Structure 1
């Protein structure tokens, strides 16, 4: 991967030199998602708007599919200025900016409207700006959906149905605490191993958003999908401050406006992807369960309490989000 990255960065450097000679600036954006993903479609809108607003003074070259490495590796490229922008999960950014941890608290947001009122308002903007001291300036948020439980042989209709079930989670303490609080047995595992693990009964199920549930083919080995929507961690569109600081005020305005416009378009792409994914799952015979979410919300409260105990400095931020 390092050799591959070095080769691609040499190409970037060569292209940068050519663009400079043309009197334009090239923004290199790398991410790990496939080109069919609604986030990639949002990024294409970012490129389209930026090049139109700047009348070609700013151009964008996109490297999708993990061509320049993992989320963590691309973040490092932003920090040293080799790549201008990327898209990563807010969960990944929590390793740099603690406030991003808050966005993963179960049932923090009342619904989708509440989530984006917070993210697109002063609270969300203040969190985006906090990454600047780590050379990672947030531009906007992208919808990454809500995570829900899916299982192979037992339907989850109430939290009690999780008792004794092994549920695969990301290697993230909040996700582990949430599943355990609901009565399940949280089982961290690499995503690439999950299909076989469900198929062979190593785990009883997992949790993810509808597009991921379908694109991973996990719907083939899972009979039930329970839309409890316990967490809604957004994606974040980032620009490295080493690139940002070289832009004029007008160029910064073009970049920010284009990012904001792409965020609105991406939300529609995401909704369409969810609708398509749910249709595929239903056609395959997956039972879609709409549970009483308040039962899950009540039983997951210890996760918030534990977080506040460990991070009392976050209480004001959390209260402001809840009151929004």
Structure 2
């Protein structure tokens, strides 16, 4: 009986070994024709602080997809949304060092590396969405991106971020209604001067504190684009928004210069063209989100006021343009020339 048990056990072990060998052979066998089993020559990381379904991340993913397709899988770009690789400031530092290869960031902080980006923060310099994109896609807009190379980064493309508008817990039907209202702004000299020039009281504070400040009356209002007013729930307190479009500040798709330098000329062209081609996808996603936010806000009882003539607004902020404009004359001249 013992011998029979041993013989059965031996047969079982041999059979298992045969199966394992077969599995091993299957795993290491040549891939079937047409299968995508190439190992990437480069695997890069792209950081974004927005959620996975946000328009900028949709643009990031389209960019990564195009690069993968056009290099036949030689270059793979992994997109990390929701600030998985760190906050905006730390990611930028890592992009400069080459530790992170790509990121998407709002244009405003880039003034720290190229002060000419500050021109895009000035109020009412763009008359419309068409005007903005005429400038961004022109030579002067492209030069802003390439000039970032001095700071060990390379700008690849601009993404849409809509326009910023004022919203308040108080009536806000005209420029006159802003006078005396306490408006939250980002900690920026240009933004503080903008609010003061409109007769309101500029109140800098962190974004995360705005909702409670609206609830308690510490501030009367704030300013942002429609999706931000929606996602922040500020509309639960601020029931009026006036569409004055005082700023149209784009997003920027950035690349580490260290990563750029390691690529061949052919791959650089592929990367640049893929970034350019991803813009349309991002803009469509932004337009869709903006329309969804507008409907949600109106359904929630938010009153929209359209500014038909922004001449009084432009006249009020002229001192701000006079104060800062001389430092950005070349960019502002290009913005003027880009008018449709």
* Same-fold status (TM-score > 0.5): yes
Report what 1:267 is aligned to: 283
In structure 2, distance between residues paired with 1:218 and 1:177:
23
1:223 aligned residue (214, 224, 239): 239
Residues 205-284 of structure 1: pairs in structure 2 closer than 5 A: 205-284=221-300
- Confirm whether residue 307 of structure 1 aligns to residue 324 of structure 2: yes
Instruction: Give the TM-score normalised by the residue count of structure 2.
Output: 0.86
Q: Find the structure with the greater CA-based Rg.
A: 2
Residues 114-153 of structure 1: pairs in structure 2 closer than 5 A: 114-152=131-169
In structure 2, distance between residues paired with 1:155 and 1:113:
30
- Confirm whether residue 162 of structure 1 aligns to residue 178 of structure 2: yes
Report what 1:57 is aligned to: 74
Q: Indicate conservation of the 8 Å contact 2:91/2:100, yes or no.
A: yes
2:101 aligned residue (60, 84, 101): 84
Q: Please, what is the CA RMSD of the aligned residues?
A: 1.2
Pairwise CA distance, 1:23: 5.0
Give CA-to-partner distance per residue, 1:145-180, whole Å, 9 cap, x none.
10000001x222222211110000011111111111
Report what 1:7 is aligned to: none
Instruction: Give the TM-score normalised by the residue count of structure 1.
Output: 0.90
In structure 2, distance between residues paired with 1:169 and 1:150:
12
Report what 1:321 is aligned to: 335
Pairwise CA distance, 1:107: 0.9
1:186 aligned residue (198, 202, 217): 202
Pairwise CA distance, 1:317: 2.1
Q: Indicate conservation of the 8 Å contact 1:141/1:234, yes or no.
A: yes
Length, aligned pairs only: 300
Give CA-to-partner distance per residue, 1:161-209, whole Å, 9 cap, x none.
1111000001111111111100000111100011111011110000000
Residues 25-44 of structure 1: pairs in structure 2 closer than 5 A: 25-44=42-61
Pairwise CA distance, 1:65: 0.8
In structure 2, distance between residues paired with 1:306 and 1:71:
29
